[in-house]
Amino acid sequence: MLMKSKLLMLSLLVWTLPLMAAAKTGLNLELDVPAMPNTKAYLGHYYMGKLYQKDSVTLDSKGRGVIADAENVPEGLYVVYFSDSKYFDVLLSDNQRLKVQVDTTDLPNRLKFSGAEQSIAFYDYSMFLREKQKESTLISEKMKATSDSLQIKALQADMKALSGKVQERQNELRERYKGGMMAVFLNGLLHPDLPEFDVPEGEKHDSILSSLRYGFFRDHYFDYVDFSDERVFRTPYIRSSLDFYTGKVLVQHYDSIDHAAIQLIERSKGDEHCFQNMANYFLDFSIKSHIMGMDNLMVEIARRYYFTGQATWADSTLMSNISKEVRKIESSLVGMLAPEISLCDTLGRYHSIYDLGGEQITVLFFFEPTCGHCKKTTPLVRDFYEEYKNDPRLNVIAVYMLDDEDEWRNFIKEYQTENLINVWDPQRTSYYWSWYDTSTTPMIYVLDSNHKIFAKKVDVDGLKMIAKYELK
């Protein structure tokens, strides 16, 4: 088993925190901090990578205080903090009656836990891991400092043995506290080891093996995570794990991410709050992503979960905003047949954009003359087309989006775009704004030989790359 990296990330989407779950014994966290009399101590909890304040207590003149609740607080990883530099983590499982003696001169090393078994086990494991990390750093430094192959081999063996000790400790704790918060925490930091693949020797042996390993890693990355267990979301690393998976593990293409996202959302549907977290996470991701075609995922999530009433947490404002966004983009998604519209050229003749396009590539360039970005982009589009103006495989259709003919013609003359196919919609009969998302300008679409949307929201560098590889 390998440890994943931990990083706290805050989602910009509005997350609704779940109701606290009732339990039997109640929280009773005694703090004994002699060095901080009459100081306020806070209890915070992690949720989707963000730290929220849960409770607080003012320590007495001897530095003692109790954070108590008549009911158990939800199991998860919590933080007791006194200031930005003085804090420590505490794991709360089903038994939440514990005492912590705190020496603030060396946190988190000088703590003494008593009471709740899993809280103690978590702290002991944390200290064990810190020691092993020091040993790992020392071995790495020795490896960097030597060129002796025998010594390097011995150090690599030491590193492997060290990793084995960590894995052994993790496995022992996971088994001992199976079903408990300790196991949930460790499971979220693990992913399966790669199996041995039987690939025949040959010219493509390495590429086939690499592909099989990647496929296994992608499909089994979250094997140990139960996304329907809300305790998973009360860890500091789950958000960064999802970010790493979507941004680094998955192929950065909408088909790959779309498939994985729906699978993970489906896995969370055993619990309403978990389902909400995962649906919101990927909706948020699809809206903010710079990956071309990710609005396909936004539309699918909206149609599959929000428009069917499954997203019971969505209020009327959120539903209205999602509906507006879907209506804006649903007819011009990557992979769809581009809507056929007729536009007017400079001689007053109407043409279907299908007829005006190139044999292999059609570029639709929507612009407004007063748009600053359009003014910067238009010369780049013009210069890009100069290389292909005599190539029937590619055409650029420049669509003026307003209704001032003089402005349009002056713009063509000023920016010397006469070689482009210049069109507009003087009578506003095409309703192109309903068929194509032109909410921001300039907006560039690329259609293939079958009039399907091959790319959208691309810049001129993207056009150059597409033309280079598609017009070989």
Residue range 25-78, pLDDT digits in tens: 699 999 999 999 999 999 999 999 899 999 999 999 999 999 999 899 999 999
Taking the domains of the chain in order of start, what are their residue ranges?
A: 15-188, 237-329, 342-470
Task: List pLDDT tens digits, range 403-434.
Answer: 999 999 999 999 999 999 999 999 999 999 99
pLDDT interval class at 23 (50, 70, 90): very low
Q: Mean pLDDT in the chain?
A: 92
Q: What is the CATH number of domain 342-470?
A: 3.40.30.10
In the predicted model, what is the mean pLDDT of residues 378-393? Answer: 96
3-state secondary structure the chain: CCCCCCCCCCCCCCCCCCCCCCCCCCEEEEEECCCCCCCEEEEEEEECCEEEEEEEEECCCCCEEEEEECCCCCCEEEEEEEECCEEEEEEECCCCEEEEEECHHHCCCCEEEEECHHHHHHHHHHHHHHHHHHHHHHHHHHHHCCCCHHHHHHHHHHHHHHHHHHHHHHHHHHHHCCCCHHHHHHHCCCCCCCCCCCCCCCCCHHHHHHHHHHHHHHHHCCCCCCCCCHHHHHCCCHHHHHHHHHHHHCCCCHHHHHHHHHHHHHHCCCCHHHHHHHHHHHHHHHHHCCCCCCHHHHHHHHHHHHCCCCCCCCCHHHHHHHHHHHHHHCCCCCCCECCCCEEEECCCCEEEHHHHCCCCEEEEEEECCCCHHHHHHHHHHHHHHHCCCCCCCEEEEEEECCCCHHHHHHHHHHCCCCCCEEEECCCCCCCHHHHCCCCCCCEEEEECCCCEEEEECCCHHHHHHHHHHHCC
pLDDT interval class at 11 (50, 70, 90): very low
Radius of gyration of the chain (CA): 29
State how far the Cα of 185 lies from the Cα of 326, in Å rounded to an integer: 37
pLDDT at residue 7, rounded to an integer: 25
Structure tokens at 218: 């992608």
Query: What pTM did the predictor assign?
Result: 0.86
pLDDT at 16 over 90: no
In sequence order, the 6+-apart residues with CB closer than 8 A to the CB of 385 are: 363, 394, 396, 419, 420
Query: Hey, which CATH number is domain 15-188, 3.40.50.2000, 3.40.1690.10, 3.40.50.1000, 2.60.40.1120?
Result: 2.60.40.1120
What is each CA distance from 184 to 3, 21, 68, 188, in whole angstroms? 14, 17, 24, 6
Nearest by Cα to 241 from 74, 46, 9: 9
